[in-house]
A and B are shown apart, each in its own frame.
Chain A
Amino acid sequence: MPDLEFKIKKFKKIPSTNQKAKELALSGVAPWTVIVAEKQIAGYGKEKVPWFSPRGGLYFSIILPKSKIEDLQTLTILAAFIVAKTINDNFSLETLIKLPNDVLLNRKKVAGVLTENIIGKNVKLSVIGIGLNTNIEKFPKELEDKATSLKIELGKGVNNEKILKKIVKELKEQLKTISE
């Protein structure tokens, strides 16, 4: 696969992109395959805290190549920066990173990153999942003060596929640099 290329597998509705990515990785699907869901019915973040994932948002997980655990950790932190930078550069919005895994807009969560590894003697499998609130028009009452979306902040919708490609490409480039 040429340097910064990747494959996308799209799903309409799945429990979780990270879960699906782990299943596929275990069954032999190649690294840099990106699992994208239009909707997650059991999306989760750190410590299995549910991630509100209705249609409109961008939810994806990447099967990562086998890497050193330190590199995966660095990549995870960098992922939040990459998401923040993509939002800043493309929509002139000012994001704030809540280390290590969340991106805030207007003091509300707009994106989250979760890396999951299976480790024995070495790293056996790694996936990095990103949930980005793009075209979500409204959040349930209990999340209204904690979460926002690009559509809410911009007053207009964004192109999920374009954002996805920019983020994945940047992550691939970064991991390459880290591992060298």
Chain B
Amino acid sequence: MKLKLKIKGKECEVEILEEGEDKVKIKMGEKEFIFGKEEKKGISLIQTSIPKRNFSKKEIKAPIAGVISEIFVKEGDFVKREQKILFLSTMKMENEIISDFDGKVKEILVKKNQEVKEEETLIVLD
């Protein structure tokens, strides 16, 4: 997405690019700024009127095939990053799946005791 901004009276063209999950790259001429979880120190975020946009889908996926042994959230709950979401048991391991994001639980796509495949989406957050 390209847009023109007026900064200190000077018009400049900026390009906004997605840069992996939770990161946005803003190109301004030759300069590049990356914002997100790993925001570079010393660079402050420029306030603009860019419309809010989801840069990545907030989906929690199964890291490995297994069985959902417990779900700790329900639809409508607000969860924080690193909050415990569910237990996924495999034949050999017990896996506590935590959220990668802050957000509201929009949809729970699995049930207790359900078998899931690797990479299957389990929960969608808003």
Contacts and interface: CB of A to CB of B under 8 A. Distances in A.
B100 A115 contact: no
Interface in A64-93: 69-70, 72-73, 76-77
Contacts of A76: 92-93
A150 B61 CA distance: 42
Given A120-B82, A121-B21, A46 B89 contact: yes
B121 interface: no
A72 B89 CA distance: 13
Nearest to B21: A121
A100 interface: yes
A70 B118 CA distance: 11
A116 B92 contact: no
A116 B99 contact: no
Q: Size range of the interface on B?
A: 10 to 19
B89 to A, nearest CB: 7
A101 B90 CA distance: 11
A46 B99 CA distance: 23
A84 to B, nearest CB: 15
Interface residues of A, number: 22
Contacts, number: 55
Interface of A: 46-47, 69-70, 72-73, 76-77, 99-101, 113-121, 123-124
A117 B92 contact: no
B96 A118 contact: yes
Contact of A119 (B21, B69, B89, B95): B95
Nearest to B118: A69
Contact of A73 (B21, B64, B81): B64
A73 B90 CA distance: 9
5 contacts: A69-B95, A100-B91, A117-B96, A118-B98, A119-B95
A115 B95 CA distance: 8
B96 A119 contact: yes
Nearest to B89: A47
B97 interface: yes
A119 B97 contact: yes
Given A47-B89, A114-B94, 19 more contacts: A46-B89, A47-B94, A69-B64, A73-B64, A76-B93, A100-B92, A101-B92, A115-B92, A115-B93, A116-B93, A116-B95, A117-B96, A118-B98, A119-B63, A119-B98, A120-B81, A120-B98, A120-B99, A121-B100
